[in-house]
Structure 1
Amino acid sequence: MTDIDDLLAKARGRSEDYGRIYGRKETSDDYLKTTYAQLYQEAKGDTVADRDSWVRSQKGYQDAILRKKDAYADWKTAETYMKLLFAEAEVWRTKQANNRYMDNAHR
């Protein structure tokens, strides 16, 4: 296998995870809002501030925040990995173009 084949194999190998991670990131905001809304219905307190404070102190809401944080961290890691692969592929492409140019210059 050539260098580019290895890079493409890495990208293909991560593509399924990449999609799953992207989906989790995209739905994490809705999950957090839905969790907040469900807990708010059960909230104890007379004022909006009291109910908001109660919701934010619940384990379910804190878990949703952690889920969102993890989803964004996983996404950024995967996105950076793919960007690095694309950069490596671009370097390979440039080297190939330079080699072809040099081959033609020597003819």
Structure 2
Amino acid sequence: MTDIDSLLEQARKNSKGYGEKYGCKETADDYLKSTYASIYASAIGETVGERDAWVRRHEEYRKAIERKQNAYADWKTAETYMRLLFAQTEVWRSVQANNRYMDSAHR
């Protein structure tokens, strides 16, 4: 049987880290866009396509993409963990409701 108090404690304990990971995920998009714009300003090339290709090959831009990828992966892992905790909580609630129903049916 799942102990609801331990599930809730796990959710409380992980909520701060979950919030931080969500914040990193949200700011990773802006960081990638601002990195692109910053590099694009000094990009080499005469056409938009040439400048865009130059930016996308730039090491700073690749690092920004990796940062975004890691932020999304960390957030998704944390989100999945929290969803599993909530699912376990819902199962516990259903079991408790069924037990109450069965107890009342046997009276």
The TM-score, its normalising length taken from structure 2, stands at: 0.93
| Paired position in structure 1 for 2:80 | 80
RMSD: 1.1
Which residue does the alignment assign to 2:50? 50
Q: Distance in 2 between matches of 1:60 and 1:84?
A: 36
What are the equivalent positions in structure 2 for 1:1-107 lying under 5 Å apart?
3-107=3-107
Query: Any stretches of 5+ residues in structure 1 without a counterpart?
Result: none
Q: How many residues are treated as equivalent by the alignment?
A: 106
The TM-score with structure 1 as length reference comes to: 0.93
- Give how far 1:92 is off: 0.4
Deviating above 2 A after TM superposition, structure 1's stretches of 4 or more consecutive aligned residues are none
Q: Distance in 2 between matches of 1:91 and 1:50?
A: 56
- Report percent identity of matched pairs: 66
Q: CA deviation at 1:3?
A: 0.4
Give distance in 2, aligned partners of 1:17 and 1:59: 29
How much has 1:49 moved relative to structure 2?
1.5
Cα deviation, residue 82, structure 1? 0.8
Give the C-alpha shift of residue 96 in structure 1: 0.6
SS at match of 1:28: helix
What is the CA distance between 1:102 and its match in structure 2? 1.4
Deviation for aligned residue 1:86: 0.6
Letter in 1 for 2:26: E
Shift of 1:47: 1.5
Instruction: Give the unaligned 5+ runs of structure 2.
Output: none
How far off its partner does 1:67 sit? 0.8
Q: Note the C-alpha offset of 1:95.
A: 0.7
